[in-house]
Structure 1
């Protein structure tokens, strides 16, 4: 949720133009169209993708942008091809059996367990009574003198791991307190298990440390999976990656003569050692696996003075497509807030820049694919950039949009320190808005949006959030609406467009983002990360390119 007062305002004293009037009617129309049932949830490599990328490309062209994608027949196209591995489990109910203290029982996909289709490229998964071992948070962090494995050989074993960091519950310790590090992300848990050769991973789901409920886990993990095409997929993925309900974990621990909460407490200390469980896991199911091509959509407004220097706006166009039905029988995951709102804002910014004075630097508008599958479209772009990352001034990402009216504040995903945020804070102050740190750093939002793919390669990048201090209702109402969205709509078919939305806050946000982008595009600033940032070194390596 987002926003503030003031819609039409002058740029700061360093700006070169006046912020245009942004249209709530156009925003509403784009969001309504992209999140309609006709687009079938915008799943990659589906008819919904074809409609989505065509709509975006047509919108960019109508706005007055130029194609900025792959070069075909000597000309730029609107699209960047993104090869992806696509997998799915053939049976709605794969054979999954948990044997605890000698007693076997099937696990129901989507209810007790959420098993992802494997991203190793294999066509069949067979696991026979693989032993379970509890490895705490599954973290190896030498710089923190932390090792949950203590030399354990995990080959052939199923790892049971906790979500988030060891500091989450206490708010203090070796991982920075409540703010999640990358070690707390589920992606890291899978990667570390793969590096060690485990047969599989069971992440124990708990709503608070995960930052979302079981419905989100189920809907995100039991449908079609995607990954970038890797030379050695087994180095990044185990054959079986899954989440289990906490109740199931508690039963396994109890049958093993252990108390779940007590073991979790031990796992929050350096002294923790892996604990074998009196349980085994078996699985047997067929997998559809193939390499497909999805697409990023790219439009550009070439700069008049420094066309090789890029200011980039990004948003992901994809959502979850068609999946398991909800209680109403609805199977289309429309993704209105997540992220038809971001694409609508991207198109509106494109219109504004194309109809304003031509900037000195080029401005890129990039709609990426497969964010919901692990930031894959932005990851592919960052590894295969259409324009050099070293000459990319900064990235402003939009993932979600303000639908509840204006706010007095704004935020970004995570707690990164960088010059872009300083610039944004100064411009917002001129509009009566203040910067509020991410109110939920424990959720790891910094690692969950497409700006992260650019940031980890050194490009100054932020994912904008319109804030939670609503002019109408304050932070109490803002937090209430945010929690309701996560509980009832996020990654669920109920994330649908509504005529009741108040997009005046979204237009305020666009005025702020436009002003920052205009200043960057017409200035000579090269933003950087703070000196203590883990991304500073990568940025500094490219300094010679900018002289």
Structure 2
């Protein structure tokens, strides 16, 4: 076993007026947490981790035998914890229909440089994929354009595409957004915005009719190394079923290595660093890369599969029709390319077996105590690694009304490197749940720290984001950085090592060397948070400057009688 070091479009709507307060009603009775016999147990968490992250579960990829084992295990543990089935038709699951895309056979790709052909190696020079309905990708001599960061943001007076038609062309764009390496400007500094996410860049280019996009990979602004990109693109790709898939998805999309991009720019008579600096300035405009063409051909095997969210319900008392969702994703990447040790199973111990183990423990403890006022729905979500698909599907097809879903408390990636003085949340959420989390941490003798790495864009990379887009107050809770042994410096170093060496790689494994004090203490804080929200008469809310506030306010009338 290799030692794993620890971790850890946005709807741009104007904020409206304050939401009408709910009708007055008596305060909920005080509901106590179960006592010592039902406390969060380190050995129980370790038992679940050892099972979920074992080679037997084959990396927990959707639509594999690993999914069958994972779903069965979670449902079994939900039942043992004392939950009721919360899925469809009285069962434990919600069927999530997905399109599955697997590259079948070799990928050929090349740039033509003023008549000279430059062959590219997929997975090394570039990493390609396609979610487009066409099964036979055959693109020849596409004109290539450089579109800076690939951003159109009218509210910021920014349009990288102004004046240039990119229909039928390959667009090369930079990762993250223009403020990452500059003084804070129109994008607010180093904290990544939605415009910095790869998913936004693909969507924007597709809407403009581009044939493809290549994002230039740089480890720091991407927040992960090339190995993460390669493993992600090499695995089967999934998407929800879309009637407009041909327009929504580019025929080809992917990433290009920095060194490969630097040579490409040089062949076009450009200096990459100068071009990047120009793209960071207001007024930049996309332009053609003269003399460059791009060709690629590969076949995609497409099928439609049924994956599953796993749901367990703890019925509430006086406010049983109101819901608190506790979530985390169960999927990892399955079996990929072997690493240097010959290991090909991407076990996903930190990411995200830790959350599923915590969810099962929280359910067990809460079921042993008094029934909470609000019902608590535990959801182990599928296909997060393919773009938050299980969460997106549930938000579009909720089994309990979203209008009366008080909050979503999502968990991600507890650290195995020892306990911290603090606990954190992902991104700048602008939501009352951040203050609730701070209060829960204080009740457990700990502190709360906001996300120390906003430039990584973690807010947009976890399942709570799909619920936020639907207006539901949501948060993803992750580990803090201030280690009891090592301080903030030690915590940051451990996090950096995890993302550099283990994230989405076979070395993300569980072992007896894990210090379970950290995941145990973090799970205990989340238990407190869920307990507090589930036993409150108040509705968590987005802050006045949140882009999700207006969406939530649209359903205010449905909560006014509660």
Q: For this structure pair, what is the TM-score category when the shorter chain's length is used for normalisation? A: over 0.9
- C-alpha displacement at 1:89, in angstroms? 0.8
In the alignment, the residues of structure 2 paired with residue 107 and residue 231 of structure 1 have an alpha-carbon distance, to the nearest angstrom, of 33
The SS at the match of 1:377 is: helix
Aligned residues of 1:15 and 1:515 also touching (Cα < 8 A): no
CA drift of 1:102 comes to 2.1
Identify unmatched segments of 5+ residues in structure 2.
1-5, 9-28
Report deviation, 1:2.
7.5
CA distance in 1, matches of 2:450, 2:435: 13
Within the candidate set 204, 207, 222, 1:192 is matched to 204
Equivalent residue, structure 1, for 2:133: 121
The corresponding residue for 2:304 is 291
Counterpart position of 2:556: 543
Is the 2:30–2:535 Cα contact (8 Å) retained in structure 1? Answer: no
Query: Which of 517, 520, 533 is matched with 1:520 structurally?
Result: 533
Change in 2 beyond 3 A, CA 1:215/1:64? same
In 2: Cα distance, 1:272 partner to 1:532 partner: 28
Question: How far is 1:14 from its partner?
Answer: 6.7
Tell me what 2:216 maps to.
204
Tell me by how many angstroms 1:509 deviates: 1.6
* Pairing partner for 1:260 from 272, 278, 290: 272
| C-alpha contact 2:163 2:285 (8 A) present in aligned 1 | no
Q: So what's the TM-score if we normalise by structure 1?
A: 0.95
Equivalent residue number for residue 154 of structure 1: 166
Q: Match for residue 495 of structure 1? A: 508
Aligned twin of 2:418: 405
Please say if residues 2 and 407 of structure 1, whose CA atoms lie closer than 8 Å, have aligned partners that are also in contact.
no
2: CA distance, partners of 1:310 / 1:346: 16
After TM superposition, the structure 1 = structure 2 runs for residues 325-344 of structure 1, keeping only pairs within 5 Å, are 325-344=338-357
Give the conservation status (yes or no) of the 8 Å contact 2:138–2:298: yes
1:251 aligns with 2:263: yes
1:455 corresponds to which of 464, 468, 472:
468
Return the offset for 1:304. 1.9
Residue 85 (1) aligns with residue 127 (2): no
Q: Is the 8 A contact 1:136 1:264 kept in 2?
A: yes
Cα deviations by residue, 1:72-99 (Å, 9 ceiling, x for unpaired)? xxxx1100000000001111x3111111
**Contact map agreement 1:191 1:235 (CA 8 A) in 2:** no
Return closer, same or farther for 1:184/1:2 CA change in 2, 3 Å cut-off.
closer
Give matches, 1:41-60, under 5 Å.
Answer: 41-60=59-78
Check if 1:142 corresponds to 2:154: yes
| Partner residue, 1:7 | none
* Distance (Å, rounded) in 2 between the aligned partners of 1:360 and 1:434: 27
Partners of 2:34 and 2:370 within 8 A in 1? no
Distance 1:206 1:496 in 2: 26
1:65–1:300 CA contact under 8 A, matched in 2:
yes
1:2-51: CA deviation from partner (whole Å, max 9, x where unpaired) = 79xxxxxxxxx976335642111111111111111111100100000000
- Structure 1 stretches of 5 or more lacking a match? 4-12
User: Is 1:352 the equivalent of 2:365?
Assistant: yes
Q: What residue number does 1:390 align with?
A: 403
1:219 aligns with 2:235: no
Q: What does residue 33 of structure 2 align with?
A: 17
Match of 2:188? Answer: 176
- 3-state DSSP class of the match of 1:138? coil
Contact kept in structure 1, 2:59 and 2:345, CA below 8 Å = yes
Deviates more, 1:427-436 or 1:224-233: 427-436
Q: Give the match's secondary structure for 1:90.
A: strand
Segment drifting more, 274-283 vs 312-321: 274-283
Residue 465 of structure 1 deviates from its aligned partner by: 1.3
The farther-off stretch of 95-104 and 141-150 is 95-104
Query: Could you list the per-position Cα deviations for residues 481-501 of structure 1 after superposition, in whole angstroms to 9, with x for gaps in the alignment?
Result: 111111111000010001111
Normalized against structure 2, the TM-score is what? 0.93
How far apart, CA to CA, are the structure 2 residues paired with 1:285 and 1:433?
53
Alignment partner, residue 425 of structure 1? 438
> Is the CA contact (8 Å cut-off) linking 2:31 and 2:370 kept in structure 1?
no
Q: How big is each residue's C-alpha offset from its partner over 1:448-505, in whole Å with a ceiling of 9 and x where there is no partner?
A: 0000000111111100012010011111111111111111110000100011111112
Which position in structure 1 is the counterpart of 2:142? 130
- Answer with 359-368 or 515-524: which moved more: 515-524
Equivalent position of 2:24 in the other structure: none
Match of 1:8?
none
Instruction: Name the structure 2 match of 1:39.
Output: 57
Cα RMSD (Å): 1.4
| Paired residue secondary structure (2:138) | strand
Equivalent residues, number: 532
Contact 1:68-1:79 at 8 Å conserved across structures: yes
- Residue 296 of structure 2: SS of its match in structure 1? strand
For the Cα contact (< 8 Å) 1:122–1:289, is it kept in 2? Answer: no
Cα drift, residue 429 of structure 1: 2.4
CA distance in 2 between partners of 1:101 and 1:223 (Å):
34
Cα distance between partner residues in 1 of 2:33 and 2:504? 39
Distance 1:2 1:237, change over 3 A: closer
Q: Secondary structure at the match of 1:490?
A: coil
> Offset of 1:435 from its aligned partner?
2.0
Q: Which runs of structure 1 show a deviation greater than 6 angstroms over 4 or more consecutive aligned residues?
A: none
Question: What is the CA–CA distance in structure 2 between the aligned matches of 1:143 and 1:158, rounded to whole Å?
Answer: 26
CA distance in structure 2 between the partners assigned to 1:255 and 1:516 by the alignment: 56
